[in-house]
A = this chain, B = another copy of it.
């Protein structure tokens, strides 16, 4: 029988105590969380206090004034509680994260690569990039990712031009143009099965692991669909100048450089209609958007505040011209994403800009090859061709004296075609593109080359990521080069100790857009008249698609540093007579054999004054190539192949000491062989052929 009355009450109390104690032990971890929450430590993800941190009431709706203009000393908002309460926020180790970026044109393509590098540097999850691109960006980025071969990265392309009509009716004053509006149509443009996506502007840089950002999806209430950081300027407050009338926004509004999108919920909520309705209505009284998609996102959110989940300010530190971002980053110890949202980009005036620029430069100049890192413990489909490549590399014999050459041959170099803005040449039936390749130490040839060849060029540059930036500055600083839109520069990123001459030539060749190409070497300067002369010759000789033919050009070289470029055959012959010029390779050379007998008679014939009246001439000298080395067997015909690593055949000792450290000068005179009876038929020295021809491997 149970005791009754007082004993029973005592028993109940004891049981209660026991249960409480048990509960306390079971849920003991809570204290840690509670303390962490109260402490409001700035370093914890999602726990950033600060005046720019909007606080969200439990119902998920924004209390306007109180939320956005809270006192600077305020601790973390309710928002932060979710850190301790709900399940662990970071996505699981191998969860696939989706990222969407709109990218158009040559310059944005370069920007997006820096963003991707920063993202890949910190990421620990597989990524799927959804790139909405125009034709230019697609051409660049498709090749880039194909050759980058980063494990656990998938890339899908979406045609921005097909989406244009959906936003082209909106007048937009923002520098991003039509493409700036395209984020609005992502819910319909991206695959229907895609439910979550992080949307990024091309001008953001990651300073942390993107999975931490992805984790913030877990904080969304059941109705929230758009995660955004508050705008870190007073723009939307509408008091910047007299008659400043921004689009409507909640308080300071939100910045759309970094967006978490619940695509599924937006589709369900009728997003397509929602933003169009809002935009149409606002455009009745406002002339245009000032900040592109951001104006429309803000107007929609003002109407439907339940859609938005405010994110901690560190996920979009905005370096606009009149930024308030310092309130955010001086309180936080951990910056997550930097947003260069001033039209001045890295040149923005800001007392801490040096700090942020350092972050940006880190990734701008970072060797992208180093990001080919596997994710341990996350099985993922290897990039196309990667497995075969690994196998082939594994089969190489390190003791083989040609090991380095074979390894280099198997190297897939990252390729960034049309690194700079480029206008393809208009279609002309006899047009010729000059095709060449070079490394950093030959940059100074470009101006002279541009002066000598007024036609289209396709040049492959073998550079590191940091050198590519130096190259960019070099072009910008040269009025001659900056003025030329018909020169396409293709960056092939350096890897390995050898200079992959064939791979470079093939990249440049594949990107030539005219029916004919003129394969040259960067050390050769064509005669001023050669471009016209070749086109005229092609037409005159009827070298149509039916007839495969090559035009052969003789070459000359000089030993002099200073040299007046001959303007006529008479001048050239005079120089030959006094010994200021030699026929090309008619001197002992380093790696390549002397000109073969089949070539020499031809040159002799050409140099006879009787042969041709007005020879087009190419001349150049060759300073040394310090770091790059040509793979000897790869060179063809008369292309110079002086390499510091001679191939199996022993090389002749350099003639003089002065030669040892430097390389040979060349003068190359080009001209079609005029059929002198003393001369054999033209040999295939330099070919002019249809681009459809397969490159050399």
- Residue ranges of A at the interface with B (Cβ–Cβ < 8 Å): 4-5, 8-9, 12-13, 15-16, 19-20, 23-24, 26-37, 39, 41-44, 84-88, 90, 92-93, 124, 329-334, 352, 354-355, 358-359, 361-362, 365-367, 369-377, 440-441, 443-445, 447-448, 451, 464, 466, 470, 473-474, 497, 559-565, 619, 621, 623-624, 626-627, 655-662, 664-665
* Least CB distance, A334 to chain B, in whole angstroms: 6
* Least CB distance, A447 to chain B, in whole angstroms: 7
Q: Known contacts A12-B13, A564-B657; can you find 8 more A-B pairs with CB under 8 A?
A: A19-B20, A23-B24, A39-B87, A332-B376, A444-B626, A473-B497, A561-B662, A621-B658
Whole-angstrom CA separation of A562 from B665 in the bound complex: 9
> Which of B39, B560, B657 is within 8 Å of A88, CB to CB?
B39
Given A29-B37, A30-B33: A563 and B658 within 8 A (CB)? yes
Whole-angstrom CA separation of A627 from B477 in the bound complex: 12
Given A41-B88, A370-B358: A29 and B23 within 8 A (CB)? no
Whole-angstrom CA separation of A367 from B360 in the bound complex: 12
Whole-angstrom CA separation of A9 from B565 in the bound complex: 112
List, in ascending order, chain B residues with CB within 8 A of A660's CB: 447-448
> Which of B90, B359, B372, B664 is within 8 Å of A43, CB to CB?
B90
List, in ascending order, chain B residues with CB within 8 A of A28's CB: 30, 85
* Least CB distance, A566 to chain B, in whole angstroms: 11
* Least CB distance, A206 to chain B, in whole angstroms: 14
Contact of B42 with A562 in the complex, beta carbons under 8 Å? no
List, in ascending order, chain B residues with CB within 8 A of A451's CB: 657
Contact of A124 with B334 in the complex, beta carbons under 8 Å? yes
List, in ascending order, chain B residues with CB within 8 A of A4's CB: 4-5
Contact of A627 with B440 in the complex, beta carbons under 8 Å? yes
Whole-angstrom CA separation of A23 from B17 in the bound complex: 12
Contact of B658 with A561 in the complex, beta carbons under 8 Å? yes
List, in ascending order, chain B residues with CB within 8 A of A31's CB: 27, 85
List, in ascending order, chain B residues with CB within 8 A of A370's CB: 358-359, 361-362
> Which of B86, B358, B466 is within 8 Å of A373, CB to CB?
B358
Contact of B656 with A564 in the complex, beta carbons under 8 Å? yes
Q: Which 8 A-B pairs have the closest CB atoms?
A: A12-B12, A29-B33, A27-B30, A30-B30, A623-B623, A27-B27, A29-B84, A444-B661
Whole-angstrom CA separation of A88 from B466 in the bound complex: 40
Whole-angstrom CA separation of A9 from B367 in the bound complex: 74
* Least CB distance, A527 to chain B, in whole angstroms: 12
A212 — nearest CB in chain B belongs to which residue?
B43
Contact of A93 with B43 in the complex, beta carbons under 8 Å? yes
A211 — nearest CB in chain B belongs to which residue?
B43
Whole-angstrom CA separation of A332 from B376 in the bound complex: 8
* Least CB distance, A387 to chain B, in whole angstroms: 14
Contact of A565 with B443 in the complex, beta carbons under 8 Å? no
> Which of B90, B361, B372, B659 is within 8 Å of A358, CB to CB?
B372
From A85, A329, A372, A374, residue with most partner B Cβ within 10 Å: A85
Given A43-B93, A443-B626: A659 and B562 within 8 A (CB)? yes
List, in ascending order, chain B residues with CB within 8 A of A93's CB: 42-43, 333
* Least CB distance, A586 to chain B, in whole angstroms: 14
Whole-angstrom CA separation of A84 from B665 in the bound complex: 71
Whole-angstrom CA separation of A228 from B36 in the bound complex: 27
List, in ascending order, chain B residues with CB within 8 A of A627's CB: 440, 470, 474
List, in ascending order, chain B residues with CB within 8 A of A9's CB: 8-9, 12
Contact of B444 with A441 in the complex, beta carbons under 8 Å? no
* Least CB distance, A336 to chain B, in whole angstroms: 12
Whole-angstrom CA separation of A102 from B80 in the bound complex: 43
* Least CB distance, A442 to chain B, in whole angstroms: 8
Whole-angstrom CA separation of A86 from B35 in the bound complex: 9
Ordered by A's residue number, 14 sampled pairs between the chains whose C-beta atoms are within 8 Å are A8-B12, A9-B12, A15-B16, A27-B27, A27-B30, A41-B90, A331-B377, A358-B369, A359-B373, A451-B657, A560-B560, A561-B621, A561-B664, A564-B656
Whole-angstrom CA separation of A334 from B377 in the bound complex: 11
Contact of A657 with B559 in the complex, beta carbons under 8 Å? no
Given A355-B374, A370-B362, A561-B559: A448 and B657 within 8 A (CB)? yes
* Least CB distance, A445 to chain B, in whole angstroms: 6
Whole-angstrom CA separation of A447 from B4 in the bound complex: 104
Whole-angstrom CA separation of A350 from B205 in the bound complex: 33
Whole-angstrom CA separation of A361 from B664 in the bound complex: 34
A446 — nearest CB in chain B belongs to which residue?
B661
> Which of B32, B329, B440, B563 is within 8 Å of A84, CB to CB?
B32
Contact of B15 with A626 in the complex, beta carbons under 8 Å? no
Whole-angstrom CA separation of A473 from B404 in the bound complex: 15
List, in ascending order, chain B residues with CB within 8 A of A92's CB: 41
Whole-angstrom CA separation of A352 from B359 in the bound complex: 28
List, in ascending order, chain B residues with CB within 8 A of A565's CB: 656-658
List, in ascending order, chain B residues with CB within 8 A of A39's CB: 87-88
Whole-angstrom CA separation of A565 from B656 in the bound complex: 8
